[in-house]
Amino acid sequence: MIYFDNSATTQALPEVLDTYQQVSEKIWGNPSSLHNFGEQAFNLLEQSRKQIADLVGVHQDEIFFTSGGTEGDNWVLKGTAIEKRQYGKHLITTAVEHPAVHNSMEQLKNLGFDVTYLPVDKEGRISVDDLKNAIRDDTILVSVMAVNNEIGTIQPIKEVGELLKNYPKIHFHIDAVQGIGKGIQDQIFNDRVDFVTFSGHKFHAPRGIGFMYKRRGRKIAPLMDGGGQEKGLRSGTENLPAIAGMAKALRLLFEKEPQAIKTEREIKQRIIDHISKFDKIVLFSKNDSGFAPHILCFAIKGVRGETIVHAFEKYGIYISTTSACSSKKHIPSSTLGAMKIPESLSTSAVRISLGDQNTLEEADKFIETFDKLYDEFDKLG
């Protein structure tokens, strides 16, 4: 099997699963309990929080645990809207965000908030000038993804941060679900960012766990009330085995990061160099510094994306249409639509998403299979 769908989810590492099992079996007390067994659980919880904070270069009390990227995005957007509604009701995001952001914005619109969606250029990237022109006196939040989940575009988040230094009261959120471990931490954690959201299953941690960075001093309303966990901002008994596993997964990710990025770039370039020779291929991703190393989106003219996905699947190669969240709904790519790509072409788009376990030998096998399938598609017209 060749797994080229790492942007949808990654395989949990054996070392991570071992940590999950050990914690489940040996430290299963509630971190909120007063007795010694609960204290052991609490200590491990805070040890995991500190490890994650140290790895990403922030303070321990700025890390909050969530169930993943979707919850984190919902929390920042809706929590900011609730907390700052007396100061304004204008929110800004981009036209190419993940549904967790886009649909949250649409819900807030229905509740009386005003949302501006920034347009993108032919590479799926926003203009900082457009953002500057969109800011109003009543703007309370700017939300921009670090890496586009469909074509891999890196947004100008550092430049956005520089602009927002002139507007210190506006919350700045980055959805970094696709950006972790891709060599852009210095951009993600710039000195103006207020909130960053992550999902563990994108970097070999268990599913159903994630974390959020919240800058000291920034206020946000809780979406989940209850027992007062996570400083009263995110109630619910903590998923300690998954949290400890995620901390280990993050450490292993950063240890492998330089070599993984190098290999992903090489795999991506090898595939681009080959498939770009074919007449019916349209590439939507590049392999320069403006794009993440792990995502490659392309189309075969006249062949629907799901047909391409299932054709590769027969050879044990797993790719996806442009977004795992939308693939089964047969929804055209929102990113390509925002880039003004015709629907007749966007419905043919597929995504390869690489991880640190992929190899150049797998790229060669993909190319070999691609040639067979392209020939078959060509004969079918």
What is the per-residue pLDDT for 378?
Answer: 80
How far from each other are the two terminal CA atoms of the chain, in whole angstroms? 29
Does residue 209 lie within any of the structural domains? yes
Task: Clarify whether residues 46 and 126 are in a common domain.
Answer: yes
Mean pLDDT of 18-35: 95
pLDDT tens for 91-134 read 999 999 999 999 999 999 999 999 999 999 999 999 999 999 99
Task: Clarify whether residues 219 and 279 are in a common domain.
Answer: no
Task: Clarify whether residues 107 and 213 are in a common domain.
Answer: yes
What is the per-residue pLDDT for 325?
Answer: 54
**Of 108-117, 202-211, 291-300, 315-324, which range is least confident?**
315-324
pLDDT tens for 307-365 read 999 999 999 999 999 765 554 555 667 899 999 999 999 999 999 999 999 999 999 99
Task: Clarify whether residues 276 and 230 are in a common domain.
Answer: no
Beta bridge partners of 66: 210
Residue 221, classed as helix, strand or coil, is coil
Does residue 180 lie within any of the structural domains? yes
Mean pLDDT of 3-29: 97
Task: Clarify whether residues 76 and 211 are in a common domain.
Answer: yes
Mean pLDDT of 84-88: 97
Q: Give the phi and the psi of residue 341 in degrees, each rounded to 5.
A: -80, 130
**Percent of the chain beyond pLDDT 90?**
95
Mean pLDDT of the chain: 96
The pTM (predicted TM-score) of the whole model is: 0.95
Checking if the pLDDT of 136 tops 70, the result is yes
Checking if the pLDDT of 45 tops 80, the result is yes
Q: Residue 285 belongs to a domain with what CATH number? A: 3.90.1150.10
- Residues designated catalytic: 325
What is the per-residue pLDDT for 361?
Answer: 98
What is the per-residue pLDDT for 322?
Answer: 79
pLDDT tens for 57-84 read 999 999 999 999 999 999 999 999 999 9
Task: Clarify whether residues 125 and 31 are in a common domain.
Answer: yes
Does residue 373 lie within any of the structural domains? no
Alpha-carbon Rg for the chain, nearest whole angstrom, is 21
Checking if the pLDDT of 193 tops 80, the result is yes
Does residue 61 lie within any of the structural domains? yes
Does residue 376 lie within any of the structural domains? no
Band the pLDDT of 141: cuts 50, 70, 90: very high
Task: Clarify whether residues 281 and 207 are in a common domain.
Answer: no
Task: Clarify whether residues 94 and 167 are in a common domain.
Answer: yes
Which one of 220, 251, 282 terminates a domain? Answer: 251
Task: Clarify whether residues 361 and 315 are in a common domain.
Answer: yes
**Of 40-44, 295-299, 325-329, which range is least confident?**
325-329
Does residue 377 lie within any of the structural domains? no
Mean pLDDT of 227-233: 95
What is the per-residue pLDDT for 181?
Answer: 96
In which domain, by residue range, is 340 found?
Answer: 2-8+257-366
Stretch (H or E) spanning 65: strand 63-66
What is the per-residue pLDDT for 379?
Answer: 76
Task: Clarify whether residues 171 and 272 are in a common domain.
Answer: no
Task: Clarify whether residues 20 and 161 are in a common domain.
Answer: yes
**Percent of the chain beyond pLDDT 70?**
97
Band the pLDDT of 381: cuts 50, 70, 90: low
Contact (Cβ atoms closer than 8 angstroms) between residue 27 and residue 41:
yes
Number of domains in the chain: 2
Does residue 379 lie within any of the structural domains? no
Checking if the pLDDT of 230 tops 90, the result is yes
Which one of 251, 280, 300 terminates a domain? Answer: 251
Q: Residue 181 belongs to a domain with what CATH number? A: 3.40.640.10
82-115 burial, b for 16+ CB within 10 Å, e for fewer?
A: ebbeeebbbbbbbbbbbbbbbebbeebeeeebeb
Residue 35 CB coordination number (10 Å): 9
Stretch (H or E) spanning 298: strand 295-300
Does residue 375 lie within any of the structural domains? no
Which one of 229, 251, 273 terminates a domain? Answer: 251
Q: Give me the amino acid identity at 316.
A: G
Task: Clarify whether residues 334 and 242 are in a common domain.
Answer: no
Residues with Cβ within 8 Å of residue 86, at least 6 apart in sequence: none
